Every structure is written in structure tokens, then in C-alpha cells.
Amino acid sequence: MPKLSEAQRSRFYNEFMAATSAESAEILMSGVFDVGWSDLATKTDLERFATKKDLERFATKADLERFATKKDLERFATKKDLENFATKKDLERFATKKDLENFATKTELATLDAKVAVLDARVTALDAKVTTLDAKVTTLDERVTRVERKVDELRVEMHEAFSKQTWSMVTAMIGFAALLTAGMHFA
């Protein structure tokens, strides 16, 4: 069958439409090829193309919907977002697990905390005893000060009494010596 030219196709369409209707002409023309039989692909031509069976092993749109889209990935960190995070080099200046092996564990620290609490209680008790001792020492200091004042007063009194007694004895001796001298003189 020879290939129809565009002019022939147009004329055939117009004649068929005049004989029937525009809808019928459209239906018929949609089935009439504008190429010749030699231009159509043969079975051999089509064998080099993939079949539906060949395409089944590839992912479909439904298969791809399970994967993240660009929009989904926008909510994740970008390189710029990661600039504020520590790098391996930054972390090198911090202690490693090996570095921490010489430090106390939480259990050891809890034991030490308990011991420190006991020591704190003992120190508090000792502080209370020291405060009591301080009060007693202060009381003793006050008593000693009062005793020292009394001793000073007694010294002054004794000095005055010894001075009076000494003057009394000296006066008595002078009187006795005067009597002896007068008695010897008149005798």
C-alpha cells in the first residue's frame, strides 16, 4: 500500500466527514497511518528493544517511593551545619578510655564519698568538742585573771603589812636602844 501524502489524508478526511460525521471521520483517521508499510517496524526490528518481562527486574516508581527524595534529605545536616561540630583532631585533646583507666570509677567515688561523709561527721563532732573546750578555756582564763588580780591585791596588802611591821619593829628597836642607852647612861 502506498504512503498517503498529507494532502491525500486531508481530502480523504473531508470526504468521509461529509459522508458520515466529524466524529466518525476522527475515529477512522486515528487508525490510518501517515506512513507506508515499509516505514513500519517489523518483529525483527522490535526484538532488539526490551520487553515488559525484561523491564520487570528494574525498579518501578512504586519501588523508588520507599527511598528518600531530595526534599526528604533537606532536613539532614549539610557541610555548613557540621562546621560547628568537633572533628577527630578536636577530640584528640580529650582523655581516651585508656587515659581514664587510672581514675576512680563511679563505685569507687561512691565509696570515697561515703568515707568523706563519715570523716565530715567526725570533724563536725570534733569541732563541737573544740568549741566546748574553747568555752572552758575562756572560763579558766577568766578565773586565772581573777586569781592573778587577787594575788596582786594580796601582794600589795602583804607589802603594806610587812612595811608597817618593819617600821613597827624598827621603831621598837630604836626605842629599846634608846632605853638601853639611857639606862646605861644613868646607871
Question: For 120-138, what is each residue's pLDDT tens digit?
Answer: 999 999 999 999 999 999 9
pLDDT score of 30 more than 60: yes
* Position 85, amino acid: F
State residue 97's pLDDT score. Answer: 67
What is the distance between the alpha carbons of residues 147 and 150, in angstroms, rounded to a whole number?
5
The pTM of the full predicted model, rounded to 2 decimals, is 0.32
Mean pLDDT of the chain: 81
